[in-house]
């Protein structure tokens, strides 16, 4: 079963990066301009989660995000061993998604990489922390009650689209360390290491947000 979960998370994260970052890249999504590409990118990320939740969700829970897995780990929903397996699968899936995207469209469009808001690491980290906190908190609550099982995927997908609608303006929206790391690594391999130089913000911010969501979730459920 562990192998199935690994491959389910790999496929899910691959799909998230390929479609989500792909739509951002091919439509020229720019956070400074609220246009159709902005909305299309937010919708793409949300729709991928809906699709994956109702497919691989029954196998792995469809985390496809280290911040979500960390929240699940800290709230007691998975073991430490499972967490590291999920993390490896998610990073591998994100890299594969970015590789295929680069093979198809090249790296000239940026592969949907994230960037600092106003060149400020602290502001960007704060934005990512808050957005991820909200996203993971919703996931923890909506998946805690079986009566929400049928609609959980839709709620989570819509929430991801929601955080993108605001977050794209600031950082391009990560809320997912794997989603940021994969494209940044491939861009660096192609000779542009600018995204990789700041990717730590999009690893630390979401992980802190996921951890905080777990703490708040447990406090509210005492």
Domain count for the chain = 1
The answer to which of 28-32, 156-160, 178-182 has the lowest mean pLDDT is 28-32
68-109 pLDDT per residue, tens: 999 999 999 999 999 999 999 999 999 999 999 999 999 999
Token pair 């703490």 in the structure block, residue? 215
Positive or negative, the CA dihedral 211, 25, 62, 47 is positive
CATH of the domain at 211: 1.20.1080.10
Residue 108: domain span? 2-220
pLDDT band at residue 222 using 50, 70 and 90 as cut-offs: confident
Closest Cα to residue 186, out of 126, 105, 121?
Answer: 105
116-136 pLDDT per residue, tens: 999 999 999 999 999 999 999
């Amino acid at each position: 079963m562990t192998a199935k979960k690994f491959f389910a998370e790999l496929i899910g994260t691959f799909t998230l990066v390929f479609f989500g970052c792909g739509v951002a890249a091919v439509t020229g999504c720019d956070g400074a301009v609220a246009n159709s590409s902005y909305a299309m990118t937010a919708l793409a990320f949300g729709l991928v989660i809906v699709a994956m939740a109702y497919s691989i969700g029954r196998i792995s829970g469809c985390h496809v995000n280290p911040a979500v897995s960390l929240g699940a780990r800290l709230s007691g929903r998975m073991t430490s061993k499972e967490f590291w397996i999920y993390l490896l699968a998610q990073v591998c899936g994100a890299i594969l998604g970015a590789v295929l995207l680069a093979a198809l469209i090249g790296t000239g469009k940026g592969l949907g990489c994230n960037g600092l808001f106003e060149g400020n690491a602290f502001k960007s980290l704060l934005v990512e922390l808050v957005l991820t906190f909200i996203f993971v908190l919703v996931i923890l609550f909506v998946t805690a009650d079986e009566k929400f099982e049928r609609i959980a995927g839709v709620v989570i997908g819509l929430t991801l689209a929601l955080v993108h609608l605001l977050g794209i303006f600031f950082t391009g929206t990560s809320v997912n360390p794997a989603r940021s790391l994969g494209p940044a690594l491939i861009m660096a391999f192609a000779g542009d290491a600018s995204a990789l130089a700041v990717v730590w913000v999009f690893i630390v911010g979401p992980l802190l947000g996921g951890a905080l969501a777990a703490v708040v979730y447990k406090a509210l459920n005492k």
